Structure 1
Amino acid sequence: MSELLALGASHKTADLAVRERLALLDGQVEPFLHELMALDGVTEAVAVSTCNRTELYIVGEAPEQAERVLRARADVELYSSRNCDAARHLYRVVSGLDSMVVGEAEIQGQVKRAYERALAARTTGPLTNQLFRAALATGKRVRTETAISEGHASVASVAVDAARALIGELASRHVVIVGAGETSEQVARAFHAHGVSTMFVANRHRDRAIALAQRFGGASGSFDQLPDELEHADVVVSSTASPHAIIGPEELEAVRGGKPLLIIDLAVPRDIDPACAGVEGVTLMDMDALQRAVRGHLSVRRAEAVRAEAIVEEEIQTFAGWLGRLEVMPTLAALRMRGDDVVSELLAANAGRWESLSERDAARVEALARSVVKRLLHEPTERVKALDGDHRHARLQLLRELFGLEEDVTSEAGEAAEVRRLAG
């Protein structure tokens, strides 16, 4: 029978160099999902890839085959969990409980976009649709009912706090922001809140750079202007979706002349060549360095995290009930079909022995026989529905073996999935 499998690596289990190799950039996601769907035993797939994690949520009879596809990008030990444990992991991710900055809100939008990409690629199905909709609803509930996101904690705000800790007041500093996406916007907002008024935004698409710079009183330009800006910058924060480094040590050595410069690289894969750390006067922080700085961040509210965990567990019970019904229904449908088949076979075998039986009485005999089977199966059906998660799978397997239902369950799986898709 189909199972849900979550597997991946995150900032908690893999360093930045590994996360870079696992990262799925825009344009890589859909081909990767189709590669997963081509595997035998995989029927649904969603990929979540952010600067701090790459995770797959796979459904099928052999979902673990997806592990070798992910390992092909980076030979690393992957964490994995199944069924309700996999759902619990996603619920915690969406709620910000598994984030580098606990409570950060950006992850909810990132997971939503990952799910929408899988929908567009047509790689979701009944189970992943239910899973991601429920997880996103749980994340919204956590942020509504707790103060875990109070203060709008984010990687961007932590990066700006780290800059202030390293170089002091920021208002008089010249800041260069490379990239104009969501993270860059948060960085610009955080610097603006600290009084920074000399800000330059560089981006491949000039219109996006202009819009972001105007919002926070800065200037904008193309990447061609970046060397001139690097010469005068005090702080550089980079967050693009480039597949390769866009600033190297040669560029910095040519324009800096040993002057102090703080560079914060929020991109995965990295925008800044790690060799830049060896340039005189340059201090380089990447996501791994930022993770070390964030461990003592004040945005982590233990009491709110405890309340959030309680909400996750409450919502998981609802999902567990739905998942249990998903597992139980094909077996119960096959059991009822087996009972109907037995009645039909007996009626057919004895049809020639009832020469004097009227058509009306024959209908009564058939109704009585089917009623006996229905009543006989009622009690085991109700008991199977009431099984908890710890015993359900083993008991269902025993039931299928006792009644020889394996073929029936397999043949009914497609029909049952169609019914669940309409209901989901």
Structure 2
Amino acid sequence: MTELLALGASHKTAPLALRERLALLDGQVEPFLQELIAHPQVSEAVAVSTCNRTELYVVVGEPVEAESEVLSILARRAGTRPTELLGSIYVERNCDAARHLFRVVSGLESMIIGEAEIQGQVKRAYERALHARTTGPLANKLFRAALATGKRVRTQTTISTGHASVASVAVDAARDAVGPLAERHVAIVGAGETAELTARAFHAQGVSTMFVANRHRDRAIALAERYGGASGSFDELPGELVRADVVVSSTASPHAIVGAEELADVMAERARRPLLLIDLAVPRDIDPSCAELEGVTLLDMDALQSAVRTNLRVRRAEAARAVDIVEDEIQRFAGWLGALEVMPTLGALRERGDAVVDGLLAENAGRWEGLSERDAERVEAFGRAIVKRLLHEPTQRVKELDPEHRHARLQLLRELFGLDETPAGELAESAEAGSPGDRLAPISRGAEIRRRRA
């Protein structure tokens, strides 16, 4: 039977050094997803990778085997043994996996409670999986329901009031470290979403001398123009480091951009004038050993966590309202998932009952030589009525099973009646469908995977 698994590590469970080894940069996502669904037990996969988390949502046939294999793939990526990841990786199944994703999209699992950026990040992760053709009926339903939940949370609560984000916390930390920012020179490395939020937050603090460095000059120019700053390439960065009071870096580079040796030369040229470095990138843009240089203060994502405790207290009441919305949406998803899980088992049970009747009729056909055609029809109808009556009560009880125990009891039912396992991916359903009643005709798992890869 098909199950949903979520495996991941976040700022709550893993240190930055491990998170950056697990992080998936843009060009790495699709090959990684293809590697996941190449495993026989994995039929669908979506990867969510941000500065604070790397999470995999996979649809599997045999959860224990699939969990072990996915953990091994993550361990290879991190360059370690699976056993060394166990303390940092969390694993959720079925509705618990869906609940976790709903909470992530709603901003309830973010370092900054209620941050709005996470919804866009999850949406882009889902779109990458669609492009890689590694989603299917269950993943499509899951992510569309999660994104709808996030939208409902932000519409019906004020959890995102103030638009707090990692970038705004970074700017607050900069103000705490160097004092009023209006007269400070700020260098921003990168021109993506986090960099834009950072530039906006500095601009709101009155910063008028700002430099934006990025590999793609046109993006740096556009960002600098929006907030009254100058722009340049990475080649100009050393000179800007000499001038800057505060440097905030948030690129998608797989390697460090600011090294300790280069920064030592910069600090000598600055005559030891203090420099604040804030690294918002995962993997990190700034070599951690830069913090050992005299006059340098370095804050990374782990260091910023202590600055968000106030945010947690302020938003706790709105977070409680958001949790209620998440639980309401989970009940809807659980109903859909439960029906998706229940109907194949009930169908197989009815087929088994019909097969028993067919077998008995065939075995006894030679004994009823004088039986009229009408009486034969009556005997068959009587046999099928007995099976239907016998299965009526179990059918009703199965439909009423609570989501928490449904899968285990369905598995027991299939074992007791010797029902064949339903191959993962066989329950093909329109990605748009809201209920299991809209299923397409079943197709084999192998055909489904070949169709997605074609």
TM-score category by the smaller chain? over 0.9
Written as runs of structure 1 = structure 2, the 5 A alignment for 1:304-323 is 304-323=318-337
Residue 184 of structure 1: how far off its partner (Å): 0.3
Residue 398 of structure 1: how far off its partner (Å): 3.1
Q: Does 2:71 align with 1:67?
A: yes
Unaligned runs of 5+ in 1: none
Q: Give the SS at the match of 1:413.
A: coil
Using the TM superposition, name which of 389-398 and 6-15 deviates more: 389-398
Q: Give per-residue Cα distances to partners, 1:183-222, cap 9 Å, x unaligned.
A: 0000011011111111111100011111111111111111
Name the counterpart of 2:446: none
345, 354, 370: which one pairs with 1:340? 354
Residue 261 of structure 1: how far off its partner (Å): 1.3
Unaligned runs of 5+ in 2: 79-83, 435-454
Residue 278 of structure 1: how far off its partner (Å): 2.1
Residue 413 of structure 1: how far off its partner (Å): 3.5
Query: Structure 1 length as normaliser, TM-score?
Result: 0.93
397, 400, 422: which one pairs with 1:386? 400
Using the TM superposition, name which of 213-222 and 119-128 deviates more: 119-128
Identity %: 75
Contact preservation (8 Å) 2:277, 2:298 = yes
| Residue 382 to residue 260, structure 1, CA distance change in 2 (3 Å) | same
Residue 10 of structure 1: how far off its partner (Å): 0.9
Name the counterpart of 1:182: 193
173, 179, 188: which one pairs with 1:168? 179
* Separation (CA, whole Å) in 1 of partners of 2:271 and 2:91: 48
Contact preservation (8 Å) 2:113, 2:311 = no
| Residue 390 to residue 278, structure 1, CA distance change in 2 (3 Å) | closer
409, 417, 428: which one pairs with 1:418? 428
* Separation (CA, whole Å) in 2 of partners of 1:298 and 1:422: 36
Using the TM superposition, name which of 45-54 and 374-383 deviates more: 374-383
Using the TM superposition, name which of 361-370 and 293-302 deviates more: 361-370
Residue 364 of structure 1: how far off its partner (Å): 5.5
| Residue 232 to residue 4, structure 1, CA distance change in 2 (3 Å) | same
2:101 partner amino acid: L
Residue 49 of structure 1: how far off its partner (Å): 0.8
* Separation (CA, whole Å) in 2 of partners of 1:367 and 1:389: 35
Q: Give the SS at the match of 1:6.
A: strand
* Separation (CA, whole Å) in 1 of partners of 2:11 and 2:432: 37
* Separation (CA, whole Å) in 1 of partners of 2:152 and 2:360: 55
Residue 28 of structure 1: how far off its partner (Å): 0.9
Name the counterpart of 2:273: 259
Residue 259 of structure 1: how far off its partner (Å): 1.1
| Residue 421 to residue 370, structure 1, CA distance change in 2 (3 Å) | farther
Q: Give per-residue Cα distances to partners, 1:17-59, cap 9 Å, x unaligned.
A: 1111111111111111111112232222111111111111122
| Residue 145 to residue 289, structure 1, CA distance change in 2 (3 Å) | same
Residue 281 of structure 1: how far off its partner (Å): 1.8
Contact preservation (8 Å) 2:2, 2:423 = no
Name the counterpart of 1:87: 98
Structure with the bigger RCO (C-alpha within 8 Å, sep 6+) is 2
| Residue 50 to residue 198, structure 1, CA distance change in 2 (3 Å) | same
Q: Give per-residue Cα distances to partners, 1:395-417, cap 9 Å, x unaligned.
A: 32332233221x2xx2x436851
Q: Does 2:38 align with 1:34?
A: no
Using the TM superposition, name which of 389-398 and 193-202 deviates more: 389-398
Q: Give the SS at the match of 1:192.
A: helix
Written as runs of structure 1 = structure 2, the 5 A alignment for 1:18-417 is 18-60=18-60, 61=62, 62-64=65-67, 65-74=69-78, 75-76=84-85, 77=87, 78-255=89-266, 256-297=270-311, 300-353=314-367, 362-363=376-377, 365-405=379-419, 407=420, 410=421, 412-413=422-423, 416-417=426-427
In the alignment of these two chains, the number of paired residues is 420
2:75 partner amino acid: R
Residue 363 of structure 1: how far off its partner (Å): 4.9
Q: Give the SS at the match of 1:297.
A: helix
| Residue 250 to residue 391, structure 1, CA distance change in 2 (3 Å) | closer
* Separation (CA, whole Å) in 2 of partners of 1:393 and 1:370: 28
* Separation (CA, whole Å) in 1 of partners of 2:142 and 2:342: 18
CA-atom RMSD in angstroms: 2.1
* Separation (CA, whole Å) in 1 of partners of 2:3 and 2:246: 48
1:259 partner amino acid: R
Using the TM superposition, name which of 243-252 and 297-306 deviates more: 297-306
2:358 partner amino acid: S
Contact preservation (8 Å) 2:106, 2:119 = yes
